[in-house]
Homo-oligomer: A and B are copies of this chain.
């Protein structure tokens, strides 16, 4: 049985989003259990009002809330009884198999690192997300913003973690790892990216070389690794491109009465397009590299979006064994270190 711990107070809205999302999620996953963390009395009232299945929900009191603009260090130091932290502590204590929060990303990452610690060999966790692609292919992209000014070794760690997650989820037994770059040739990219290329080629990962951003959706790789600065900009560029194209489609269909009538006839197909690209469907980023599963929901999402984040957490908690990922990452980093040691010895 999978139990998720939920930071019920997190996000721009808090309870009015997380509670209805919990109800929706439990209707779809009646076998799951939730620990809802936050202000006890407000939580009880909200759950009652939403007619939540109380036999599947444990309320866990927490007196504090991390603000959306609060600095990570402040959250760590001053918010030891925040709904965010207590939710993560449930994972640490083995009470829950994954924690979900719509709280502020920096504080959530800092708290998750502090409470859960990183996997052996991992300097810093990364934020990962599956991008949809042609023919239903999923590509895990990381880091999407946790780490700025990364070293080549760190990007290799991201690649190793991503590869193990894709394996653990049963998506691909030998995931193809690509390096996000501005050309396919080895000589392309920043100094760090060139160093990363060299390391990835020496590694035991199934490295398929550079992947350009114009093949993000082509299924050219199962894992695409990048520095968090670039990854975050890619993620937001995809979001803004989809939004802009959606707005342009609406404009075209409102251009004339004739186009409006065409839009009515095309409504089922247009709704299909809208649903496919509904950002709420892709809500739920994975914090990868921790000794536990933590899922970050978009702060401004609604109940539908937050329910998708819960679903993502359930999926990770069910399929991805942290022990297996940890072992796989350790093995590939050890193999790379051995190759490098051999090389260094040869050079002496």
A50 within 8 A of B: no
Binds B, one of A209-217, A313-321, A322-330, A335-343: A209-217
Please measure, in the bound complex, the distance between the C-alpha atom of A182 and the C-alpha atom of B191, giving whole angstroms.
21
Q: Decide: A240 near B213, CB < 8 A? Known: A149-B190, A245-B277, A272-B252.
A: yes
Taking the closest CB of chain B, its distance from the CB of A149, in whole angstroms, is 5
By a CB distance below 8 angstroms, the chain B residues around A217 are 240-241, 243-244
| Nearest CB in chain B to that of A276: its residue | B248
Asked whether, in the complex, the Cβ of A214 is within 8 Å of the Cβ of B230, the reply is: no
Count copies of this chain in the complex.
Answer: 2
Interface residue total, chain A, C-beta cutoff 8 A? 57
| Proximity bits, A187-206, B CB within 8 Å = 1, else 0 | 00111010000000000000
| Proximity bits, A225-238, B CB within 8 Å = 1, else 0 | 00011101111111
A45 within 8 A of B: no
Contact of A216 among B145, B148, B237, B272 (CB under 8 A): B237
Q: Which of A241-299 contact B (CB under 8 A)?
A: 241-245, 247-249, 252-253, 255-256, 258-259, 261-263, 265-270, 272-273, 276-277
Most chain B beta-carbon contacts within 10 A, residue among A149, A242, A269: A269
A221 within 8 A of B: no
Asked whether, in the complex, the Cβ of B252 is within 8 Å of the Cβ of A276, the reply is: yes
Contact of A233 among B234, B261, B265, B270 (CB under 8 A): B234
| Proximity bits, A52-92, B CB within 8 Å = 1, else 0 | 00000000000000000000000000000000000000000
Q: Decide: A233 near B182, CB < 8 A? Known: A241-B242, A272-B255, A273-B252.
A: yes
Please measure, in the bound complex, the distance between the C-alpha atom of A190 and the C-alpha atom of B150, giving whole angstroms.
9
A positions within 8 Å CB-CB of B: 133-134, 145, 148-149, 180, 182, 189-191, 193, 212-218, 228-230, 232-245, 247-249, 252-253, 255-256, 258-259, 261-263, 265-270, 272-273, 276-277
